Amino acid sequence: MSLLATRKSTSYLVVHCTATPEGKDFTAADIDRMHRQRGFTMIGYHYIIRLDGRVEPGRPENAVGAHVEGHNANSVGISYIGGVDAKGKAKDTRTAAQKSAMVRLLKELRIRYPNTKILGHRDFSPDLNGNGKVDPNERIKECPCFDAIPEYAAL
């Protein structure tokens, strides 16, 4: 029996950062190792985007991921390598190649999963004051360290 359940519905494409230091060229294999060390079956994301824009597969695309609490059963997780500065502070470290690769990948996924919403991980934080959006002070974490909603609104 496989430990990876097949995903039955897909409502969200969730954008992440790996929270690895700016400029360090980690691979999907590195992230896989880190996630297994944390006790995951395998890498939690479905795709990794390297510094040079290469897209590497992570978890099989049709499997339930491990990247966003409460929504793993209905989302695909995509992470760019980076997201913190040398001191570990949240920072949008995306390279130009990563930005364009992310747009290409999201467009491709949208063809396979029409009607999905593209959100950043932090957009799943609880809206504590009920004003209809996640304010900066309500974010559980900064991931992916940029505002994914306006960034991909035109896709």
Which of these ranges, 12-20, 21-29, 30-38, 97-105, lies near Zn ion under the rule CB under 5 A?
12-20
Residues annotated as catalytic (active site), given as ranges = 16, 45, 121, 141, 143
The answer to whether 17 and 79 are in contact (CB under 8 A) is: yes
Q: Does 121 bind Zn ion (CB under 5 A)?
A: yes
Which of these ranges, 36-44, 99-107, 129-137, 138-146, lies near Zn ion under the rule CB under 5 A?
138-146
Q: Name which of 2 and 89 has its Cβ closer to Zn ion.
A: 89
Residues 6+ apart with CB under 8 A from 65: 7, 44, 45, 46, 59, 72, 75, 76, 77
Q: Name which of 17 and 101 has its Cβ closer to Zn ion.
A: 17
CB of 137 to Zn ion, least distance (A): 18
By DSSP bridging, strand 12-17 and strand 47-49 are unpaired
The radius of gyration computed from the CA coordinates of the chain, to the nearest angstrom, equals: 15
